Structure 1
Amino acid sequence: MRVNDGREVIFFIDTGGSEVALDTEFAKELGLPQFGEGQGTFSGGEHAAVQQSRIDSFTIGDWTIKNLPVVSLALRQLSEGLGVKRIDGCIGTNLLYHFLATLDFPNGELVLRRKTAKNLKQFAAESSGKSVAVPFWIASDHFMVGWGRVESLPPALLFVDTGLAGAGAKLAEPVIKEAGIKLEEDRAFEGAGAGGKLKIVPYTVRRLSFGDIREDNVAGLYDGPFPWENTFGFHLAGMVGHDFFKPYAATFDFERMRIFLRKKL
């Protein structure tokens, strides 16, 4: 990926985020203008400053996007947890929305196609009988929400956060307790979120479903209050994260509001 002056940069893809985001120090290196500052809510309910800005150009693969609104926040502190030397930014849902986008986790690829009737029809034909479609809708400006199930509890709403690294689930504390999930305090460690340092406690979800997709013994993490549990006027049981989707190519169809999951064998 390249930003403004053509330098190559490292971004991660985070459907839990909205706009394209740049690390604060990287934004300073680019000399970007600032149009204001707000406060974002992140893991564990932590808050951090978020600056509004824009970049002249953003090149990803064969696509170049001009005059793109961005935000900046402290992202490089996430680098170690993501297993890379340095993170410069992330791609959020609001950019993916403009494409028929596939996150092919097994092959490590992001495929962006024009969101045309022809491409949608072709994809539908190619995926017929090979993918599982999970309906979703968007809460607020970017939260992709769909029905899932935790253990043997009744169906509940979960949101898709591919930026949740090192785990396949992050559940609200009441859901953890109701499902009888044990927090493994003896394995707790310190991690970093966009809002700062966090105590992270692992656990295992014996059965986790999203739509008709089910995975067993899914790694989960608890890092404090789940800040979006009751934010949108309905109850969110938690999120499904990166590790849940690792066996799949996930295609986001924002026209028909479906996530197509195809397992790679």
Structure 2
Amino acid sequence: MTDHKQMKRRGVLLGGAAIAGALWTAPAAASAAADPDVLFRDGRFAEADRGYAHRLRADPYDPHALAQRGYIALLHNRFADVQRFLGPIAGSDPLARRRLAESYVRQDRYDQAVPLMDGPLSRVYSNLGPHPWQVLGARRTRVPFLGLDPLPHVPVSLNGGPPRTMLIDTYATLTLSTPEAERLGLQVLATAEGVLGNHPVTISFGILGSLRLGDIELRNLPVQWVDTDLPTLPDGTPPTGVLGTTVLYHLLSTLDYTGGALLLRRKDEPAPYTTNPLPLWLAGDHFPCTLGTLGGYGPRIVTLDSGGIAHGLDTTAEIAERAGIKVDYAHPQQVNGVDVYPIRPDRMALGRVGARNIPGNAVAAVWPGLPGPGQSAMFGFDAMANFTHEYLKRFKVTFDYAAMRVSVS
């Protein structure tokens, strides 16, 4: 992991998240299994939703059941249900209000999101005008990777300028380097404090006029930048920034690692599904989740973070041991003052697509400032693991945020 990765994992709206190893709850007793809160924490969303619906039949105004049904709907991008369940309680429940705002953000309805928000992003969103995230140009395009490591990187034109090189990372938002933001003359509309490598940093927010990828152009985009180093490219130069899920979300996006390209289609284009489609959930504003297995353990919820440099798996030592993965306690590595231990699972898979002997990291204890074993504060549900670059680079991965499916082949 790099300091850049740690910066990105420090807060949902500031471009951050967790190491993926929140402890998977052991199978519950039959009486507890009927508790929708237990089912939800275990990632059994459909069953949990039925449980909360049962509670609402007994009490249509149960605020907890309404909040949870609304959150489950948000994870699935079922926006009408989000508004139906969260609207009545948004005035008294700050978390429900934030999730309701997020449902409008995902629909690019910022005029309805801003009145529900506070903080720096509300000031950015209020300046986006009536046409944010405009998609112009071709119906589909292919953008060749300039390279695959340290992460896939592609040529991008910003505000009509010459090609610049940006990394692709599904656990990020649209992020520029500070020199690039200054070169473009971007106005700082808001700032927020964050943490990078245990050091405080200031994150700046503004609006990017346009971003062109191949034959498709996106206009009027919220963007952030931080005065820190990004992972260098193979030639030793720094990239201009990072293309994250907030960009990929607005198109039908395929990371074709095997074909060496980013494939982009309009959202209403036919999805290029294979025989291995999987459910896709979106937590926060940019954290994709699906179902995965470690050896014979699972399927359980995993996050898909394509930006984990030089490894393919993050989990906890306890989960690794449950899955029969040997944890190399004799060779700890330090990441921001925390011990992580090398692991290499015999097999890890998304659906029927597996890989063997992928290098990974296991953390033994709670990661400072991040969800860890037994904690689900970030998402409210537990994730078994994080599948990242060294695993994903073997496949073609399509993110369909209209149908909420991810396809891996």
Q: TM-score range by the shorter chain?
A: 0.7 to 0.9
Aligned Cα root-mean-square deviation (Å) = 2.9
Q: Which segment is superposed worse, 46-55 or 210-219?
A: 46-55
What's the CA shift for 1:86?
1.5
Q: Which structure: greater strand fraction?
A: 1
Q: Is the 8 A contact 1:22 1:75 kept in 2?
A: no
Q: Which segment is superposed worse, 132-141 or 146-155?
A: 146-155
What's the CA shift for 1:200?
6.4
TM-score of the superposition, structure 1-length normalised? 0.80
**Alpha carbons of 1:114 and 1:54: their partners in 2 closer, same or farther (altered >3 Å)?**
same
Aligned amino acid, residue 346 of structure 2: R
Residue 187 of structure 2 is aligned with which of 33, 40, 46? Answer: 33
> Matched residue pairs, number?
246
Match status 1:261 vs 2:408: yes
1:102 match: 254
Aligned structure 1 segments of 4 or more residues deviating by more than 6 angstroms = 44-47, 196-200
1:148 match: 292
- Cα separation, 2, equivalents of 1:225 and 1:48: 22
SS at match of 1:15: coil
Q: Is the 8 A contact 1:172 1:225 kept in 2?
A: no
Aligned amino acid, residue 33 of structure 1: Q
The equivalences for 1:90-129 within 5 A come to 90-116=242-268, 119-120=269-270, 123-124=271-272, 127=273
Q: Which structure: greater helix fraction?
A: 2
1:16 match: 171
What's the CA shift for 1:31?
2.4
Alignment gaps of 5+ in structure 2: 1-155
The equivalences for 1:221-236 within 5 A come to 221-222=361-362, 225=366, 227-229=370-372, 230=376, 231-236=378-383
- Cα separation, 2, equivalents of 1:165 and 1:178: 25
- Cα separation, 1, equivalents of 2:278 and 2:313: 17
| Rg comparison, structure with higher value | 2
Aligned amino acid, residue 342 of structure 2: P
Alignment gaps of 5+ in structure 1: none
- Cα separation, 1, equivalents of 2:341 and 2:235: 19
SS at match of 2:357: strand
Residue 209 of structure 1 is aligned with which of 341, 344, 349? Answer: 349
1:181 match: 326
2:62 match: none
Residue 68 of structure 1 is aligned with which of 209, 221, 229? Answer: 221
Aligned amino acid, residue 242 of structure 1: H
